[in-house]
Amino acid sequence: MVYLIIKGEKVNIGILVFSSTGYTLKFAEAIAAGLEKSGHDIELTRIETDIEANEGPPSAESEYDITNLPDCSKYDIVFIGGPVWAFSACHVVLKAIEQLKGVEDKIVFPFLTMAFPFRFMGGNRAIRMIKKRIAENNGKPEN
């Protein structure tokens, strides 16, 4: 799906990822490597918080501040993702989406990682949650 959108032209892409264990970061780095290999400009940002964000439901998102979100107006396309926590999208990613600047009318690709073997164990719900937040922030979540 990504290939169809960016085939044939050089695109400036921002990849924003939250990863507490490093597994989701490795996945984001693999996405970046594939896109770089196709000749695109990539900037990968690991989302950071002022205090350690613990796993939990989305209601835990008010306990910390995100410290390093880039201005996404410099990107043509944005990817944002993180792990599935408590059968939901990671609350750090949801909070980051709310605070993103410059995503208005941009295509935003959500991605996630999870340890469960079946999508119905949190993956489907997490993607829906991320897409909803993207749309609420005037971005265009990619299907």
Residue 40 pLDDT > 70: yes
* Residue 102: exposure state from Cβ atoms within 10 A (0-12, 13-18, ≥19): middle
Q: Work out the average pLDDT over 131-135.
A: 91
Residues 6+ apart with CB under 8 A from 49: 64, 65, 66, 67, 92
Tokens of 36: 């770089």
Q: Work out the average pLDDT over 120-136.
A: 84
Which residues pair with residue 140 across a beta bridge? 107
Residue 56 pLDDT > 70: no
The residue that leads in pLDDT, 5 or 126, is 126
Q: Work out the average pLDDT over 9-17.
A: 93
Q: Could you write out the DSSP letters of every residue in 25-93?
A: HHHHHHHHHHHHHTT-EEEEEE--BSSPPPS--GGGGGSS-B----BGGG-SEEEEEEEEETTEE-HHH
Question: Could you give the 3-state DSSP secondary structure of residue 112?
Answer: strand
pLDDT of residue 54: 72
pLDDT of residue 15: 98
Residue 79 pLDDT > 80: yes
Residue 105 pLDDT > 90: no
